[in-house]
Amino acid sequence: MAWFFLSLAAALTLATSDAFTKRYFGHLSAYEMGVARLSYAFPWLLVALWFVPWPRLDRVFFLCLAVGLPLECLAFYCYMRAIKVSPLSISLPFLAFTPVFVIVTGNLILGESVRMFGCAGIMLIVIGSYCLNLSHIKTGLLAPFKAILREPGSRLMLFVSFVYSMTATIGKLAILHSNPYFFGVVYFVIFTVIMVSFFPVVSDVKLSHITERPWAGFVLGATVALMIFSHMLAISMVEAAYMLSLKRTSLLFGVLYGAVWFKEERIRERLTGAVIMIAGVLLIGWFG
């Protein structure tokens, strides 16, 4: 059962890092928010490089990095933009659509079929997304869905979910050609270097913005590193579908952070929607 608690730890630390990023670095640009998040985690990852087992690498591993990292950069920037411009309780739940997109792309590319529980999971995720904006129903039956399209954070996170459905597949292939410990650390080290390399050419970006709250950055970096380490350990102990579906409970933690820390509105309906979406993710991951 160690994987179960490690997966929950990954979910909690992911939601915590999102909340810390928004609270203490949310006044910065989306790019600066991302660089701050990665930079403060970087020292922890460098230390970890000395302790993870180094496998013999092949061409497939490097091809996965070459394809996956540009997509990861795009998704990460949109992720930071989403939590900056919209409440956590209305943006983070849309990460639940990642397994839905994985099912669709798997069917189109690999010819994989969807079981009954997978279809039920998709329906629960759609119903949950509807419930996130249920209060809009008084203006029309489709109004809750239209509210999703009007909310920039929701739109961005839907796009992030789609990109993550591709990077998840690419990452799994890279792990099969290395090991989860090495891939997790090396992937994020290179990812950080790539993101920081844009620093000199992005306008209105200053190092002082990122270093103005070092104590908050220290905690943020630690939570990001803990998320990566707990994720790697958990996914090495059990099937990826089980671990990733349980990690999506981060959506629930994110909504709770939005309620307690940011005093966001309509938390009851957003919490209800998030719980329904998580139920759909669990159905897909465990039985679909």
Q: What is the pLDDT along the chain (288 residues), one digit of tens a residue?
A: 788 889 899 999 999 999 999 999 999 999 999 999 999 999 999 998 888 889 999 999 999 999 999 999 999 999 999 999 999 999 998 888 887 787 666 566 445 555 677 678 778 888 888 888 878 777 777 777 777 788 999 999 999 999 988 887 788 788 889 988 899 899 999 999 999 998 877 777 787 888 889 999 999 999 999 998 898 888 778 766 677 778 888 988 999 999 999 999 888 888 898 889 888 888 877 765
Domain count, the chain: 1
pLDDT of 26 reads 93
* ∠ Cα 136 138 140 (to 5°): 85
Distance CA 226, CA 36 (A): 16
pLDDT of 110 reads 47
pLDDT of 112 reads 55
Cβ pair 182, 116 in contact under 8 A: no
CB neighbours (10 Å) of residue 120? 17
For residue 43, the enclosing domain spans 2-287
pLDDT of 154 reads 92
pLDDT of 241 reads 66
Provide the whole-model pTM.
0.87
Q: From start to end of the chain, where are the E strands?
A: none
Distances (CA, A) of 135 to 56, 97, 268, 280: 55, 22, 10, 22
pLDDT of 192 reads 95
Distance CA 149, CA 132 (A): 13
